[in-house]
Chains A and B, each alone.
Chain A
């Protein structure tokens, strides 16, 4: 071992999102209370804290009151307080029906609209003031083991060319030894994916995901009130085929955050969520909010929405998992921030006890699970544990069933519902009997560059960038199978579902079809890792500091 390249800490947190940062803050607070000095280090792959953070976001503030002191909470960077009731609209191609009520689980009274990226920046400042060491722009691609147990991580080697050959500017990654390693990678973490098998962490169900595509606009005065919250369902999604809906939030300074969230368990191999969002924006009930405005940012991110049964085991010897990485997301509300923060708090409590007793074994860290089960995480997630499964019945019937679940404490199904992994729900082109995406929306797929955009333009608005001198961070696991199956039989669904034009189906002379990869466009949403048929693609982490540069997402 080269000492020059090895550092050590007591707690290492991988990922600077709400879960990781909350844990760091709570840890620092509790250690100080107990007068124990321990080193806390947090590593983030984005060039800055917040660069890779994307959320709606309407946020429940309560948990931040628990985490922060009054002074700290007073300066919290909420954007605007939700004003009035949410408006829920059911869209069809040309009409809109405003629902006279909204489901109780969707109420946003007392909540705030915010940029989660800005919140994370603020939390990072607080954490640093408390002595947490934060390093941004470093990717972690390896867990380190000793005698079969996790002892830390290693950051990614840099200075390697496209073929993996070390260059003159090669820089070996740094090993970080830690008593406890906390994975807070967010949705579909690339380290956690590797570990789920190795450590047998999978929950009762596979995790399943949605993809959210979001835009931030600057709009003419009077287009929307700050604090206004609208949700839509229906058009352009087909109630029985695609689970999801749209959101429109009024922000300060005449800005609007809007987006479309769609479950990745759909069947159409040509379904394109980015295009669906553009079509959705063209609906007069949506376009009226942004007409005459200018797009500021674009981004996309997946969210784990399998609910209670999809939560993996989130601790092991010297290991803890928090936030979206652990699947702590409330499916009916599509809200995970408050749960991520709460999980960070619970994990910190358990970690402090473990550090003081100098026992960071699985048995000791099991305390984390007890704390989660005593917290509102359990209270929110358990009653809706069957929620996502019933959505296969369509939004309205499904919605009714959710209501029943809430009344009956979630027990309307007798067994754990089985859910297929998202990579197994796509149908082959020949087997998919409904209208494919392009025919379903014929005439609506020309984007005008003012209100609607093609993917390349959207990628530009995400400010994403990747060093081209590195091996592709998107790995085709088996190129022969990929050609035979994903391309020939499925028609390369990756080209449709990827919101950032990373995958291109190239049709050459003689109808020769092949994959063209553009990893430099990637916005780190992880959809390909989730949805590619046969799990054909592995998303690995590129060099630190690469990826999108979100500022107010």
Chain B
């Protein structure tokens, strides 16, 4: 049977149209809809794979209201053969778990799955701009029992073998997967093509097949609110912590730079904080029954991700919220850390010193590098045996790959990319019950404008925590803990995905975490291969300032700079005193990586770039003009208000 390439697609409001209204709320009413950007890259990846496999059939599937048809039509006009839309009011309120189940059930209904037609690959976007969870691809893969590669940039398929380049922290990995499999794509590979007119004409004649849940044979209770292990309990606004940008004025670089210096001399760009209204404490209602839904599950499980033989920094950070949660629960609550790898036994002490009470060690040479199938199987086995109430993963590319797959295996929901974790309670007024204690997972959503509190009612309650949000715990060498070995049952099938190559730059580049000033070059600074960006950092160092240079994702993609210097969601989060963004547009991932910076200065020729909405000071101009001028001012002693170590020493 010929290969079928199945692309999953979601329609979302146009991110740039999701503007703040006067009330500070996201105004989504007028927003136009588009194909979710990551999904559009997956659509293109499918068309590229079709070039190598001319007999392949291309189908696109979506789940959502009938208005999604316009995006499915666009996919058809790009070159897809057929389109299917799962559309049913009863799907409303589905979380990612229920969504993953519904989509995989639709695919099985269409004839794809283990024991059915197995000549297929599923492509999806890494995550959606209105959800940002990155769960559904992993969940669909687990439900279909096929291997997966998430965070993929490019992929090819020939002779039944898929080769995929997957992003990992500080580098990338080439994976080899069999057919069938699932790939999720980041928006950094080949940009989606424009539809051709001929394609648009063809698509007009192609009918979109609309299915409901009865068609695919899915029971009511499996979807919607009743089929979802998690709920959104609360959404609150995140007030911008930055004042409106102050832009340098004048014509020509001399005037612009002078204006910037004058603005900065006038003081920090502080947000005038009005007295925030006190939130009314809602009274705990009397006569409600307290329910402990944990059913005997106890303890907090965390994963110690190993990178280059060391516990990765985000996995150590994770022990901070883990201890915080343990302290909110009863005294008996243990923090149990799963340590998987090759020759890693010695690291158990590191984990204990950072806050683990128990370390479960799985030492196996096949597990030197993270791989989804054996790792998710190990987690399932450990969870079944130890019954933890909470499981935490760092929201790294591996953590975000692993957590949702483990979630499906244990019937749990997952909350992605949390920035706050607390123990609380949930009051159900209908049922007159109070669920307590329960994990409140808080995560920014809608382009970082809202903070959603997500609750899960199935143990373990699984969350991933955003890297760089929590501090690494202070080491306490006197802490004691238990270390034990665990021998999981692993099958040959768990190793059907091969790692062909793993490439990582110098790990960490610690300097970036410590620098007072970071000069970061983006896509707009590639003309001189970042020479001016480097020169500015260099000159600041000459002046005795602790300065470093870095870059955004596209620069790394173009192989101009090594991964270690990349800043952004899959790179790193930094918090310097001054962050100078040169030629950076301000993609959400990048903004997430820099928002802890004390002062952000943006230099870009395009005044419409989002970076200007997230910076304190800005210059609209070409970097080739502005940077030489800035460098000459630094030579004259201007250091952006950051202390000059040399002078202080004198």
Contacts and interface: CB of A to CB of B under 8 A. Distances in A.
Contact of B625 (A133, A506, A518): A506
B117 interface: no
Contacts of A176: 197
Contacts, number: 72
A394 interface: no
A36 B200 CA distance: 26
Contacts of A516: 605, 622
B194 A171 contact: yes
Contacts of A94: none
A506 B622 contact: yes
A155 B197 contact: yes
B628 to A, nearest CB: 8
A543 B198 CA distance: 16
A43 interface: yes
B191 A518 contact: no
Interface in B596-627: 605-608, 620, 622, 625
Contact of A155 (B192, B196, B620): B196
A459 B609 CA distance: 12
Interface string B172-206: 00000000000000000011111111111100100
A68 to B, nearest CB: 25
Nearest to B154: A168
A113 B32 CA distance: 26
B44 interface: yes
Interface string B1-44: 00000000000000010000000000000001000000000001
Contacts of A133: 201, 204
B172 to A, nearest CB: 18
Interface stretch (A4-12, A78-86, A372-380): A4-12
A518 B620 CA distance: 12
A176 B196 CA distance: 12
Interface string B207-231: 0000000000000000000000000
A469 B191 contact: yes
A135 interface: yes
B495 to A, nearest CB: 32
A418 to B, nearest CB: 39
Contact of A158 (B16, B44, B194): B194
A520 B524 CA distance: 14
Interface residues of B, number: 27
User: Which of B44, B196, B606 has the most A CB atoms < 10 Å from its CB?
Assistant: B196
B198 A135 contact: no
B196 A135 contact: no
Interface in A2-43: 4-7, 43
A549 to B, nearest CB: 8
User: Which of A5, A158, A171 has the most B CB atoms < 10 Å from its CB?
Assistant: A171
Grouping DSSP codes into helix (H, G, I), strand (E, B) and loop, the B interface class, with mixed when no group exceeds half, is loop
A499 B227 CA distance: 55
Interface in A511-531: 516, 518, 520-521
A550 interface: no
A176 B198 CA distance: 9
Interface in B250-277: 251-252
A511 to B, nearest CB: 10
A135 to B, nearest CB: 5
B359 to A, nearest CB: 47
Contacts of A293: none
Contacts of A174: 196-199, 201
Contact of A4 (B44, B194, B198): B198
Nearest to A170: B193
Interface in A522-553: 543-545, 549
Contacts of B622: 506, 516
B48 interface: yes
B34 to A, nearest CB: 10
A543 B200 CA distance: 15
Contact of B196 (A5, A459, A549): A5
A319 B557 CA distance: 48
Nearest to A172: B196
A169 B44 contact: yes
A508 interface: yes
A543 B197 contact: no
B608 A169 contact: no
A521 to B, nearest CB: 8
A7 B608 contact: no
A159 B197 contact: no
Contacts of A465: 16
A271 interface: no
A520 B606 CA distance: 9
Interface string B445-464: 00000000000000000000
Contacts of A138: 197, 200
Contacts of B198: 4-7, 174
Contacts of B192: 169
B608 A460 contact: yes
Interface string A290-308: 0000000000000000000
A155 B199 CA distance: 12
Contact of A456 (B16, B199, B608, B625): B608
Nearest to B628: A509
Contacts of B195: 137, 171
A170 B195 CA distance: 10
A6 B197 CA distance: 9
B201 A169 contact: no
A159 B194 contact: yes
A171 B193 contact: yes
A450 interface: no
User: Which of B32, B190, B197, B620 has the most A CB atoms < 10 Å from its CB?
Assistant: B197
A74 B190 CA distance: 49
A173 interface: yes
Contacts of B607: 456, 460
A168 B195 CA distance: 14
B620 A456 contact: yes
A507 interface: yes
Nearest to B204: A133
A459 B607 CA distance: 10
A159 B193 contact: yes
Contact of B190 (A169, A171, A521, A549): A169
B197 A173 contact: yes
Contacts of B204: 133
A518 B606 contact: yes
Contacts of B197: 7, 43, 135, 138, 155, 173-174, 176
A181 B47 CA distance: 32
Contacts of A469: 191
Given A138-B197, A172-B196, A173-B196, 12 more contacts: A5-B198, A133-B201, A137-B195, A158-B196, A167-B190, A169-B44, A169-B191, A171-B195, A174-B199, A508-B625, A516-B605, A545-B194
Interface of A: 4-7, 43, 133, 135, 137-138, 155, 158-159, 167-174, 176, 456, 459-460, 465, 469, 506-508, 516, 518, 520-521, 543-545, 549
Closest 8 CB pairs of A and B: A174-B197, A158-B194, A169-B193, A174-B198, A456-B607, A171-B193, A155-B197, A168-B190
23 contacts: A7-B197, A135-B197, A137-B194, A138-B197, A138-B200, A158-B193, A159-B194, A169-B44, A169-B191, A171-B194, A172-B196, A176-B197, A456-B607, A456-B620, A465-B16, A469-B191, A506-B622, A506-B625, A508-B625, A516-B605, A518-B606, A545-B194, A549-B32
